[in-house]
Amino acid sequence: MDQYILILTLIGIAIFSMVWMPKISEFTGVSYSIFFVFLGFLLYLLIPDYLPNPLPQKNESITLHLTELIVIISIMGTGIKIDRPFSVKAWASPLKLIAVTMILCIITATLLGYYYLGLGLASATLLGAVLAPTDPVLASDVQVGPPNEEGRSETKFALTSEAGINDGVAFPFTWLAICIGFSLSGKEVSFLEWFTYDLLYRIFSGLIVGYIIGKSIGYLIFKIAAKYKILKTRDGLLAIAATLVVYGLTELIHGYGFIAVFVCAITLRHYEKGNHYHDELHSFTDQIERSLLCILLIIFGGSLAMGVLEKLTWEMVLFSLSFLLIVRPLFGWLALSNSKIDLREKLAIGFFGIRGMGSVFYLAFAFSKFNFEYQDELWAIVIFTILVSIIIHGFTANPVMKKIADLDFKNSKQHV
């Protein structure tokens, strides 16, 4: 059997099935992520010799760049579909989740990793950094819909915007783990440089470049193109081009490209906000993202079949379950405790801290920069945490979001 042709065929079948998966998920109430993970697990059990090695530690470069690509495309799609203009007051929920929940999750996971799991300080810090951010890729079931969609769910807005922001804001803490690793290995490291360069400069560079490019693209397609018809376009492809341009330019000046992509998307989204071209941009990014996602989920399922969890212990299992079911929900509720959001929505926002491809990217990135201890153990913990998140959140997201939508509808009727 020709391996290349088989892989092409399987990719085609996977993407073909993805066309109907959102509707199937809506009907069954189960996230399509579960179906593709199971498919990958089954394929690698049946015909492992005809498929590429799915273990991330055996293909770190491919893992790094594939997850990087899907995350930046997902961040662009996330930003484009957020209708709410930015202000500190309007975005209070996600900003609190970043400032309070994410930071406390990093600290707690680091302490548990160091004292409970027995990891080294650098590896424990890395564990906290990679697990703290929520994921824009696997969280479509709990996010807002397309641009200009009717209805306003604070729960979906908070989870969508949080996922868009924190994949970039968590990056300095991955670098902190790398710095700690070099420091403990005897190399001279300046933590002041980490603070001024990796934390401040790179974040602000991402903010500035993202805003400038977002404004520039908006001006080009909504102002210049309106004046000179030859430049008029309605291709959704522009969203992918913008993603790659803003990400690449920001990374070239050593800023955080994730932040720049999200800021660019938000800025572009609110340029001629009511224009239906935003729907085209969102639709195209969504299709590309789902095409990549089904492939990555099959590989993810394959890694489970091929032994990525070999190093997993009961202590690690308890850590992952505690992180998803206690730590994140608790700190999510704490961050929003003073807000006027309904208690049920606060609990939902805290609970649906979905982990996914962003965590895989951060781990692969860190391993490409420094030879951390306990690499197989870290892969096992992170992959297991993502698996549990896919299963628990995959079965609960649709029914919970439906109940919250019903609650929002009742509240809106009462205020009419």
Q: Which residue has the higher pLDDT, 172 or 235?
A: 172
pLDDT tens digits for range 8-57: 999 999 999 999 988 888 888 888 999 999 999 999 999 999 999 999 99
Q: Determine the pLDDT at residue 408.
A: 63
Q: Determine the pLDDT at residue 410.
A: 62
Q: Determine the pLDDT at residue 152.
A: 66
- Could you give the CA distance from residue 270 to residue 25 in angstroms, rounded to a whole number? 30
* This model's pTM is above 0.85: yes
Least confident of 65-74, 114-123, 145-154, 218-227: 145-154
Does the pLDDT at position 409 exceed 60? no
Q: Averaged over 221-239, what is the pLDDT?
A: 77
Q: How far is CA 251 from the centre of its chain?
A: 18
Domain ranges of the chain: 3-408
pLDDT tens digits for range 76-90: 999 999 989 899 999
Residue 330: closest CA among 97, 94, 113, 95: 97
Architecture of domain 3-408: Up-down Bundle (1.20)
Pair of tokens at residue 13: 């079948």
259 neighbors 206 (Cβ within 8 angstroms): yes
Q: Determine the pLDDT at residue 144.
A: 79
Q: Determine the pLDDT at residue 415.
A: 43
Least confident of 176-180, 229-233, 252-256: 229-233
Q: Where do runs of H (alpha helix) occur along 185-307?
A: 191-193, 202-219, 225-227, 237-252, 257-269, 277-305
Does the pLDDT at position 416 exceed 50? no
Q: Determine the pLDDT at residue 137.
A: 79
Q: Could you write out the DSSP letters of every residue in 374-395?
A: SHHHHHHHHHHHHHHHHHHHHH
Q: Which residue has the higher pLDDT, 122 or 188?
A: 122
Does the pLDDT at position 230 exceed 90? no
CA distances from residue 132 to 110, 150, 300, 337 in whole angstroms, order as listed: 10, 31, 20, 20
Does the pLDDT at position 133 exceed 80? yes
Confidence of residue 411 (pLDDT cuts 50, 70, 90): low
Q: Where do runs of H (alpha helix) occur along 272-338?
A: 277-305, 314-322, 328-335
Q: Determine the pLDDT at residue 340.
A: 84
